[in-house]
Amino acid sequence: MFIEPNIRNTPHNSTGWIEVVCGSMFSGKTEELIRRVKRAKIAKQQVAIFKPAIDTRFHARHVVSHNANAVMSTPVPSSQEILKNIDKCDVVGIDEAQFFDEGIIDVSIELANRGIRVIVAGLDMDFQGKPFGPMPHLMAVAEYVTKVHAICVTCGDIAHYSHRLVSSDEKVVLGEQDIYEPLCRKCYYSDEKPEVKVSSTPTENVNGVHKN
Ligand SMILES: Nc1ncnc2c1ncn2[C@@H]1O[C@H](COP(=O)(O)OP(=O)(O)O)[C@@H](O)[C@H]1O
Ligand SMILES: Cc1cn([C@H]2C[C@H](O)[C@@H](COP(=O)(O)O)O2)c(=O)[nH]c1=O
Ligand SMILES: [Zn+2]
């Protein structure tokens, strides 16, 4: 379990840093982000949480985990909006970071250089097993990287991949268990993995984002 190196910014350790929490879908990234943020609040720290505006699956103004744990957040259309929405705060949480533009890297560095603890959660890989958006760069510049894992729905092993169950080559297709399942390496690369369903017609298309 991740233990905060300096939970309190005393005059002796008033430096910022970047933490990345990454893994497949259902691996507990959001739960871990919420856990860290709640502990910061218990330590009477000022916390601000952001998520990309396209991610409205559960709630527009909350970051919500798959087991219904939730904290208030500000949806923003771009990474620059995070800087505009920061007042006085000690900790900034960013969920679904894979959906942000590349500017999220400099924004995270800028915040950490200002003395803020930045906690970034996101998918390390897309459904094809390719690095997702700004995540690899964020992992490189972070002081701390935590990889979390789901349970493979086929064999019960540790899952590292998000297998898409509908046929679409779009990088971004928002969805849940109906569209994705977490698989371990062996099951993901197996020829016997569950067949991809014929593409369903997207019900919504916001800025090129399909929402099934
Ligand atoms: N196959 C699975 N493996 C692990 N957790 C799962 C699985 N399917 C559903 N869950 C639920 O998902 C929760 C994690 O949700 P969440 O933090 O939102 O994950 P993430 O943000 O990584 O998608 C777990 O605590 C568990 O209740
Ligand atoms: C693998 C993969 C996922 N997505 C989408 C599906 C969900 O809406 C989010 C991930 O949410 P979670 O909090 O990690 O469960 O991302 C996508 O658009 N493209 C992909 O390849
Ligand atoms: Zn497996």
Listed residues 148, 174, 194: the one ending a domain:
148
Q: Per-residue pLDDT for 202 more than 60?
A: no
Q: Are residues 92 and 117 in the same domain?
A: yes
Q: Are residues 85 and 171 in the same domain?
A: no
CA-nearest residue for atom 10, ligand 1, is: 26
Q: Are residues 197 and 177 in the same domain?
A: yes
Q: Per-residue pLDDT for 38 more than 60?
A: yes
User: How far is the C-alpha of 69 from the C-alpha of 56, rounded, in Å?
Assistant: 15
User: What is the structure's pLDDT at 199?
Assistant: 59
Q: Are residues 122 and 163 in the same domain?
A: no
CATH of residue 56: 3.40.50.300
Q: 52-74: per-residue pLDDT in tens?
A: 998 766 667 778 878 777 778 89
- Establish if 90 belongs to a structural domain: yes
Q: Per-residue pLDDT for 142 more than 70?
A: yes
> For the chain, how are helix, strand and coil distributed in percent, rounded to 5?
20, 30, 50
**Could you identify the atom of ligand 2 that is nearest to the CA of residue 125?**
1
User: What is the structure's pLDDT at 164?
Assistant: 98
Report angle CA 197, 202, 204 to the nearest 5 degrees: 155
Q: Are residues 98 and 59 in the same domain?
A: yes
Q: Are residues 130 and 182 in the same domain?
A: no
- Interface predicted TM-score of the whole assembly (ipTM), two decimals: 0.99
Burial of 52 (0-12, 13-18, 19+ CB in 10 A): buried
Q: Residue 165: CB within 6 Å of ligand 1?
A: no
Its pTM stands at: 0.91
Look at the block and give the residue holding tokens 């990345």.
20
User: What is the structure's pLDDT at 6?
Assistant: 77
User: What is the structure's pLDDT at 193?
Assistant: 74
CA-nearest residue for atom 26, ligand 1, is: 67
Q: Are residues 25 and 104 in the same domain?
A: yes
CA-nearest residue for atom 14, ligand 1, is: 28
**87, amino acid identity:** D
Domain count, the chain: 2
Q: What's the chain's average pLDDT?
A: 88
Q: Are residues 95 and 128 in the same domain?
A: yes
User: What is the structure's pLDDT at 10?
Assistant: 57
- Establish if 72 belongs to a structural domain: yes
Q: Residue 28: CB within 6 Å of ligand 1?
A: yes
Q: 7-26: per-residue pLDDT in tens?
A: 766 555 578 999 999 999 99
User: What is the structure's pLDDT at 206?
Assistant: 34
Q: Are residues 29 and 94 in the same domain?
A: yes
- Establish if 153 belongs to a structural domain: no
Known catalytic residue at 181: no
Q: Domain range for residue 55?
A: 17-148
The ligand that comes nearest to the alpha carbon of residue 163 is: 2
Torsion angle, alpha carbons of 99, 34, 50, 121, to 10: -30
